[in-house]
Amino acid sequence: MKKIAPLALSVLLLGTVSAYAEQPTTEGTEQVEKAGTFIQHRGNITAVEQRENAQLFTVDQDDNVFNFYVDDKTLVFDEHGNEVKLKIGDTISLSIYADQPMILIYPPQYAPPVVIVEKDDTANSVKVAQFDENFLSDDGQLKLNLNEESVIINTKGEKVPAKELQNYNAIVFYGPTTRSIPAQTAPEKIVVFPKLEEEVVNPEIAPEIQAIIGEDYKEVDGKIMVPLRMVAEEFDFKVASTGNGAIISKGALSYTITRGETKYGHNRALKHFDVAPALLEKNKTYVEYDFVKELLNHIK
């Protein structure tokens, strides 16, 4: 992703902050490095696989391979804030929560809220962060100069007042910056989305599973039901459809599940659900949360 633009261009485009562009300055007596809410992973997409209600992309980052999921909730933009589709060959930067629980499997798998497609022909940059009431990023590296004409919208395209920016996560699309510390910029566009703590979190669901399913769970007869394939494949289990159910396997482990049946096979043993697996959404089978929690225990 492109870095700081030449100083001359900064002076032309950032009249509101040009006075600071003469030389590097600091806004306080000491510049303290802080950890941000998000961390980034970057690389080139080398493969894509269609999964149930999501796509799994494989990325090669200097011979370090990782996978990431994209579904209809994932925000995918280019460096100007235009919505784009991902394809093999794209250079991408994905942002994930720095403190989000990770599944210990190889290659690593992520479910990023934001993916940015990088292009060689643009000088724009993108920052995914949280900002305080002074419009300073949580890592202390970027300050926004906003005015009444600043474009700030939510994921539905609705305008958001600048004074409410601190209540959201923000994707900032910007061009030149000053050479001050922190760098300052007048962003071209800002897209905001809810903070993680504002998303629905069920205390009964393990954080590793919550990170995968988000709000995609149901309650049937007092039992939490979660999407089977989505979680099992994230845990690196193979899921083979049987027409009215599935066989879930990994190494020596094997489970045979049938929709509408409380009995299910575990290797050569027979076990029981309290609530039978069911097709609660189109082409999506849900099972008891306790079952996928058992799958999680097998990979820990």
Instruction: Report the alpha-carbon angle 93-98-99, nearest 5.
Output: 150
Per-residue pLDDT 10s for the chain (300 aa) are 444 343 333 333 344 444 334 444 554 444 556 778 999 999 999 999 987 778 899 999 888 899 998 988 899 999 999 999 999 999 999 999 988 777 667 888 888 999 999 988 778 999 999 999 999 999 999 999 998 889 999 999 999 999 999 999 999 999 999 999 999 999 999 999 998 765 555 557 888 888 788 778 898 998 999 999 999 998 989 999 999 999 999 999 999 999 999 999 999 899 999 999 999 988 899 999 999 999 988 876
Q: In 10 A of CB 244, how many CB atoms?
A: 13
pLDDT at 211: 79
Do the domains 210-299 and 1-198 match in fold?
Answer: no
In the numeric block, which tokens belong to residue 239?
A: 């899921």
The pLDDT score that the predictor gives to residue 212 is: 85
Q: How far apart are CA 76 and CA 68, in angstroms?
A: 13
At CA 26, angle to CA 6 and CA 37, rounded to 5? 85
pLDDT of residue 227: 93
Kindly state the tokens that stand for 295: 């799958």
**The CATH number of domain 1-198 is 2.40.50.140:** yes
Instruction: With CA atoms as reference, report the closest residue to 186 among 62, 13, 52.
Output: 13
pLDDT digits 0-9 by tens, 147-171 = 888 999 999 999 999 999 999 999 9
Tokens at 34, concatenated? 């802080």
At 9 the pLDDT is 36
Query: With the C-alpha atoms ordered 93, 95, 96, 97, is the resulting torsion angle positive or negative?
Result: positive
The CATH-assigned architecture of domain 210-299 is 2-Layer Sandwich (3.30)
Where in the chain are the domains? Answer: 1-198, 210-299
- pTM of structure: 0.65
